[in-house]
Structure 1
C-alpha cells in the first residue's frame, strides 16, 4: 500500500519507541512524545508494539491507495475521512483512494496516526524515529521531517477485517490531559543541593510553558530557583530530568534531549505525568509536587497493568 502526504501539517514525524540503550554511544533516545497516545494508536490499529506511526502537530492530510485500517489518538485529537468526521480512539476502516485528515483541536498539541501493517520506512540505529537535530532517520535518511508530497509503503494486512469489529477505547478510559492536578516529580540525587526555600518555591509556584519548547526540552517561566552547585561536569540526562540553569528557570528534558548536560537537576518528572506534560502548549500553566520513587514506580506499574487489562477486554 502506498501512502502519499497531501499536506504535512505544521510539523510531522515518524516515531516509534525510540533508540533505547544507545545514549552511551551518543544517540538521543527519541520516541513518541506522548507514549500513551502512541501505544493506544498502535493497539487500536491492531499493530504490534513499536510499530512506527506518525506524530503530527497541526492538521495533516494523506491518501492511501489500498483498503486499510487506522486509528488516531492524542490530546483533543480529530479525524475526518473524505471530509466526514470519524471517531478517534477507535479502529477506522479506510477504502483505497480515501483522503485522511487528522490533527488536534488544540493548536500545538500532538496527534498520532497508526496504520495497520508493516511500515517500509528507513531505520537507523534500530529505530524509525526521525531526529531532525541529529539528521537521523526520515524518508531521506537525513533526519528530515515529513513533507508534502512524500510517499512511503506499508504492507497492509487484513487482521481487522478478520476480527469483524473495530476496537474502541471508551472516553472514560482515555488519558486525562490538562493541568488541574500537579505534575509529580521524583527527587534526584542532587536534590539536597537545593535549599528548602528553593524546593518550597518550586512546589508552590505556577510555571508557564514558554514558547521555547521542542522535542529536546520544555522551558518553563516562573519563580526562579537555584542550587548550591556553581560548577559541575556534564553527565548523562534521564528522560524527564528537570535541569536548573543559572537563570533559575527550569527546563524539563524530553524525548530528543541531548545525552549529556551540565546543569544541576532537581529531579525527574514521573513517567505517567511526562505524557501529560508533553501535550502542554505555550501559555498553559503547570504546577509540581514531589513524590518518592516507590510511589512513582507503583503508579506506573498500576497504570501499565490497567492498560493491559483494558486491551484484553477490548480485543
Structure 2
C-alpha cells in the first residue's frame, strides 16, 4: 500500500519509540514528543507498540492507495475522510483512494496518525525515528521531514479482514488531560543543592511562559529567573525532561531530540507523565511547577501504567 503526502502540514515526520540505549554512542534518544498519544494511536489502529506512525503539526493531507485502518490521537485532534469529519481516538476504516486530513484545533500541537501494517522504512541505530539535526531516519533515511508528494510504503497485513477488527474507541473522559492549569511535577536531582531555598521558592511560586524558542530538542521558558551557585561544571548525560538553568536564569526543559550531553546545572527533572503534557503546550501558554519526591513520582507512573493496561484490556 502507498500513502501519498498531498500536503505535508507545518512539520510532519515519522516517529517510533526512538533510539533507546543509544545515547552512549552519541545518538539522540528521539521518539514521539507525546508518548501517551503515540501509544494510543498504535493501539487503536491495532498496531504493535513500536510501529512507526506520523507526528503531525499543522494540517496534513494523505491519499491511500488501498483500504486500511487508521487512528488519530493528540491534543484537540481533528480527522476528516474525504472532507467528512470522523471520530478521533477510535479505530477508523478508510477505503481505496480516500483522502485523509489530520490536524489540531490548537496550532502547534502534535497529533499522531497510526496506519495499520508493516512500515517499509529503513532503520538507523535501531529506529526509524526522524531526527533532522542528526540526518537520521525518515523515508529517505537522511532525517528529512515529510514533503509534499512523498510516498510512504506500508505492507498490509494480508490475513486480516479489516472489517472484522474490533472497533476500539477511547472515551473522552479517559483521555489524557493536556491542560496547563495543573502544576508540572518536578523530581529533584542532586544538583538542586546548588540552588538556594529562595531560588527554589521563586521557581515554584512563579508562572512561566512557553517561549517561541521551542522545538524537539527543548522548550525554553520565560519568567522569573533562578540562579545556581555552580559556576562551572563538566558536561554530563541529560535525561528526558531535565530542567537546565543557563546563566540567564531562564529554564530550558530538555525534550526528545536533546543532545546527549549538557553543561548547565539542573533543578530537577519532569515527571515522565508531564513530559507528554509539556510537549503539547504552545508558545504563549503559561505553566507552573511543584516539586515531587521520588517515591511519589514512581507511584504516580506505576498507577498510570496499571490503569492504562487495564483500560487497554477492556477496549481490546
In structure 2, C-alpha distance between the alignment counterparts of 1:245 and 1:172, rounded to whole Å = 39
In structure 2, C-alpha distance between the alignment counterparts of 1:237 and 1:163, rounded to whole Å = 45
Structure 2 SS opposite 1:169: coil
**Residues 32 and 38 of structure 1 are in contact (CA less than 8 Å); yes or no, is this contact kept in structure 2?**
yes
What residue in structure 2 maps to residue 150 of structure 1?
150
Compute the displacement of 1:160 (Å).
6.4
In structure 2, C-alpha distance between the alignment counterparts of 1:104 and 1:123, rounded to whole Å = 28
Structure 1 SS opposite 2:134: coil
What residue in structure 2 maps to residue 299 of structure 1?
300
**Residues 210 and 282 of structure 1 are in contact (CA less than 8 Å); yes or no, is this contact kept in structure 2?**
yes
In structure 2, C-alpha distance between the alignment counterparts of 1:229 and 1:202, rounded to whole Å = 17
Residues matched between the structures, number: 315
2:16 is the alignment partner of 1:16 = yes
Superposed counterparts of 1:58-69, under 5 Å: 58-69=58-69
What residue in structure 2 maps to residue 85 of structure 1?
85
Compute the displacement of 1:140 (Å).
1.7
Superposed counterparts of 1:198-217, under 5 Å: 198-217=199-218
Compute the displacement of 1:165 (Å).
3.4
Instruction: Write out per-residue CA displacement over residues 209-257 of structure 1, whole angstroms, 9 at most, x where no aligned residue.
Output: 0000000000000000011100011110000000000000000000000
In structure 1, C-alpha distance between the alignment counterparts of 2:147 and 2:128, rounded to whole Å = 16
**Residues 55 and 110 of structure 1 are in contact (CA less than 8 Å); yes or no, is this contact kept in structure 2?**
yes
What residue in structure 2 maps to residue 273 of structure 1?
274
In structure 1, C-alpha distance between the alignment counterparts of 2:8 and 2:253, rounded to whole Å = 27
What residue in structure 2 maps to residue 132 of structure 1?
132
Compute the displacement of 1:163 (Å).
3.9
**Residues 46 and 159 of structure 1 are in contact (CA less than 8 Å); yes or no, is this contact kept in structure 2?**
no
- 4+ residue segments displaced more than 4 Å: none
Compute the displacement of 1:314 (Å).
0.4
What residue in structure 1 maps to residue 227 of structure 2?
226
**Residues 41 and 114 of structure 1 are in contact (CA less than 8 Å); yes or no, is this contact kept in structure 2?**
yes
Quickly say closer, same or farther: Cα 1:203–1:85, change in 2 above 3 A: same
**Residues 68 and 162 of structure 2 are in contact (CA less than 8 Å); yes or no, is this contact kept in structure 1?**
no
Compute the displacement of 1:159 (Å).
4.0
What residue in structure 2 maps to residue 191 of structure 1?
192
**Residues 69 and 160 of structure 1 are in contact (CA less than 8 Å); yes or no, is this contact kept in structure 2?**
no
Compute the displacement of 1:162 (Å).
5.9
What residue in structure 2 maps to residue 161 of structure 1?
162
In structure 2, C-alpha distance between the alignment counterparts of 1:312 and 1:72, rounded to whole Å = 20
Structure 2 SS opposite 1:18: coil
Give the TM-score taking structure 1 as reference length. Answer: 0.99
Compute the displacement of 1:115 (Å).
0.3
In structure 1, C-alpha distance between the alignment counterparts of 2:167 and 2:300, rounded to whole Å = 30
What residue in structure 2 maps to residue 242 of structure 1?
243
In structure 2, C-alpha distance between the alignment counterparts of 1:260 and 1:295, rounded to whole Å = 27
Compute the displacement of 1:142 (Å).
1.1
In structure 2, C-alpha distance between the alignment counterparts of 1:3 and 1:39, rounded to whole Å = 21
Structure 2 SS opposite 1:238: coil
What residue in structure 2 maps to residue 170 of structure 1?
171
RMSD: 0.9
Please list every run of 5 or more consecutive structure 2 residues that lacks an aligned counterpart in the other structure: none
Give the TM-score taking structure 2 as reference length. Answer: 0.98
